[in-house]
Amino acid sequence: MSKTEVPGSLEHALDRVDRISPAEAFKLIGNETRLDILKALAEADERPVSFSTLRSMVGMRDSAQFNYHLQRLVGHFIEHTDEGYDFKHAGEKVIRAIVAGSFTDDPRIEPFEVSGGCASCGGTLTGVYEDEHITIVCDDCAHRHGRYSFPPGGLNDRTLEEIAVAFDNRVRHLHCLAADGVCPECGGRMHTSIIEDTSCCLGVSLHVDHECGQCGHDICSAPGLRLLDQSTVVAFYKQHGIKLDERPYWTLPWCVSDEYHRIVSRDPFRVEVRMPIGGDELTVLLDEQLHVIETDEA
C-alpha cells in the first residue's frame, strides 16, 4: 500500500484537503466586501457569528450578494458550523497581517538610542527601523547586535523606549519557538544548525540558524540567545540581583558576541557559553540542537 493510501497518515490527510493556489487565495480576498467580512469577524465580541449579525456588521442590505461573497471565503478563510461563522487559521492570519500594517503601512522613524553599550567596544547603541526590521547597531564600531522582524503595527501608540522593550520581547519569543522546533510563521518544523561563518546579522563567527522545512522562514542568533529562559541561567542572574527578563538581550554580551562562546568538540558537537558576572561565572555546555548538557558555576 502506498503512503497516500494509508488511512490516518499525514500524506493521506493532505491529499484530501481542498487546496487552492496562492494566486487564487489572494484573488479571493482581493475584494473590499470580503475584507469587510474578515474585519467584522475580527471585531465581533463573540464567535461564531450568525449570518444576520455578520451581514449587519458589514452593512450590506442585499442578502444574496452578501451570501455570495461570504461563501467565497468559506472553506478557505472562514468555517461555517451550526453556530455560525468563524475564522479558519488562514483568515485569522490575513486579518492580523492587515491590522499589523504588513500589507499597507510603510512607516518611517528616525534611528533611536537604546539602553546598554556595544558588546565589542562599549559604544552607544542605536535602533534602526527599515524594511519592517529593527537592527541594533553600534554608532562607533558598527557592530550589529541583531536584525529581526518587527511589524509596522508594533510602532503604533508606543514611545521609542516602549518600541525597544517590545522588540526585545518579540525577539525572545521568536527564538524560543524556533529553538523548540516550531516555526513562528506557519507552525511547521524548524531545523536547527550551528554554522561557522560571519554571514549572519550579528557578524559573529559562530551562529545558530533556524529554518522552517515548510515555509522556508529562517532566523539566526548567537548560541547564547537560546538560554534567556533557561532555569539555571535565570537563577544564576537572580543570585546576583538581576532579573534576566528585564535585561534587553543586546545588553548581555553572551547573546551577541563571539568572546563568550567556543566550540569544545565537533564529534560529538559541543559548544560552550560563558556568562561572567563580577567575579563569578556560569558555563553552559550545549549540543548541536542547543540542548543543555551540563552547567558549571565557578
Confidence at residue 22, expressed as pLDDT on a 0 to 100 scale: 58
**pLDDT tens column, 127-167:** 999 988 999 999 999 999 999 999 888 888 899 999 999 99
How many domains does the chain fold into? 3
Alpha carbon distance 71, 64 (integer Å):
10
Residue 106 CB-half CA count within 13 A: 0
User: The domain that contains 25 carries what CATH number?
Assistant: 1.10.10.10
Q: Please say which residue of 194, 224, 254 terminates a domain.
A: 224
Integer Rg of the chain from CA: 24
Q: Is residue 105 part of a domain?
A: no
Q: Is residue 59 part of a domain?
A: yes
**pLDDT tens column, 67-98:** 999 999 998 889 999 999 998 888 887 887 77
Residue 176 CB-half CA count within 13 A: 11
DSSP 196: E
**pLDDT tens column, 215-262:** 888 998 889 999 999 999 999 999 999 999 999 999 999 999 888 999
Q: Which residue has the higher pLDDT, 103 or 222?
A: 222
Confidence at residue 13, expressed as pLDDT on a 0 to 100 scale: 33
**pLDDT tens column, 10-60:** 343 333 335 566 567 667 777 888 888 998 998 899 999 999 999 999 999
State the maximum Cα–Cα separation within the chain, in Å, rounded to a whole number: 75
- Residue 199's contacts (CB-CB under 8 Å, 6 or more residues apart) are none
Q: Domain range spanning residue 12? A: 3-100
Confidence at residue 105, expressed as pLDDT on a 0 to 100 scale: 53
Residue 77 is which amino acid? F
Q: Is residue 107 part of a domain?
A: no
Q: Please say which residue of 79, 100, 121 terminates a domain.
A: 100
Alpha carbon distance 283, 260 (integer Å):
9
Confidence at residue 246, expressed as pLDDT on a 0 to 100 scale: 93
